[in-house]
Structure 1
C-alpha cells in the first residue's frame, strides 16, 4: 500500500508494543515515521531498523514525556531529524500512543502516581497538539490511543482510567476546534493486548485464557489489531470520521 506516501507521521512511544506496530504499519503504507521513545533507545533503534529493512523510512526521536519542557524538546529534536532526512519540518499524522499504567484502586492510588499518569496520558497529548499545530498540515490526522478502561470498570486501574477518560474528552473537543482545517481527531480504545510491556499479567496459559475470555472473540488482542485501526484513521478513507472513539478491544466486557 502507498496511501500515505509523501506524508510524515510522529508516533509517541513507538519503540515497543502497540507503538512499534503502529509505526511499522504507517511506514508500510508509505509514511515517513518519527519513532519517539522516552527511555529505551535500543528498542526504538530496532523499530527504525525493522522499518528500513522492509523498505520504509523512519528515524528515532528521544524525549521524556511528563517532565518540564517535554514537548518543546520533542519538537526541537523532531525538526532536527526531519531536516537531516531532507524533509520539511511539517507533520501530517500525530499518534499519541506513549503511556504506562500504575495499578491501584481507591485505597492504593497516590498523588504522585496520579500526577504522572495525567501528565503522560492527558497533558502531553494536549500540548503536543497545541505546539504541533504550526507543523500540522491541512487535512492532517490526530489519533489518540485510549483504553477500554474508559468504558469497562477496572477498579484496580483507577487513575489510569481517569487519565484515559481525559484523553477522550480532549479528542472530542479538538475534533470540533480543528474541523475547519479538515484535521480529524479520533481515539482508539484497545482492551487486553499481548505485548512484552505487560506480559507478567498473562505469564501463564491460565492467566492468558482468563483475559482472553473477557473478549467476545475469545482471544487476546495483538499489536497489529490496533495498528490496522490506526492506519484506517490516518488514511484518506477516514476523512468523514472525527471526534470518535473506536473500540478495538474485541468486544471486551460486552
Structure 2
C-alpha cells in the first residue's frame, strides 16, 4: 500500500491564447473547474494504475464538491480531515500550445497536524510506502516519522524548494524531480542525482522521457509521441503510475507504464479527470 500525505485543490482552469505577460489582461475562451492538487492527482494515478493507495489530506468547510469527486474516483475519504481554513485551490492558465501557468493557494493543505499524521502512520505495515510532495505542511515530520517506523519514503520535490529538499534528504528512499528541478538541486548541493546517497532518484524529462538512478544502474525510458492538449498533471500522472508498478519490483515496466499513462493523460483536458486507467494504458502499450 502507498500512504499519500498529499494536497487536494480545486483547480480553476482558464484556456487562453497565450500565457499572460506581466501586466497583461487576457480574455479566456473557456473555464472549467476540476479536482486537482499534486497529492490527490498522484493518488488517483496510483489507483487507476491498479495500485493500492490511502490518501491523507485536509479540506476546508467549502470542500463538499471535492469530497464527492474524490469518492467518485474510488478513493476512501477516511483519511481526509475537515479543517477551519478555506480549501486549497489553483488558478491555471492553459495556452494553445498546451503549456500552463499555475498560481497556488495552499489553504487547507497547510493544516496537517502531527496527530493526524501519527494516526495515519500507525495503520501502516513494514512493506508500505509513504508518498510526499511540497504542497503541504509538516513534510519533514512525516518523512522522519515514517522512516523511524521502518517505512519506505518517496518524495516529489515539487513545487521545487532546495531548502525543503535538504530537510528531507536523509529520510527518503526515492526522490522524484523533473529535469529543471534536478539541475537546480545539483547547483544548490554541488552534486548530481547519482551522488545523493539515495536508493532511487527519478528524473522526468518531458518529451525526452525519464531516467531512474538506482544504486549503480541508470534506467532510461523514452516518451511516446502524442498530440498534447493539456499538460496539467502530466508529472503527477507519471509518478503515481510509476509508484503503482514500482512497488511490484519491475523497474523497467514501471517506467514504461508511467510514460504511457502520462502520454495518454496529456491528450485530454484537465488533470485528475484525464488520468487513464490500467486497461487503457495496457491497450496503448499493445499497439506501440
**TM-score, structure 1 as length reference:** 0.43
Task: Specify which structure has the higher proportion of helix.
Answer: 1
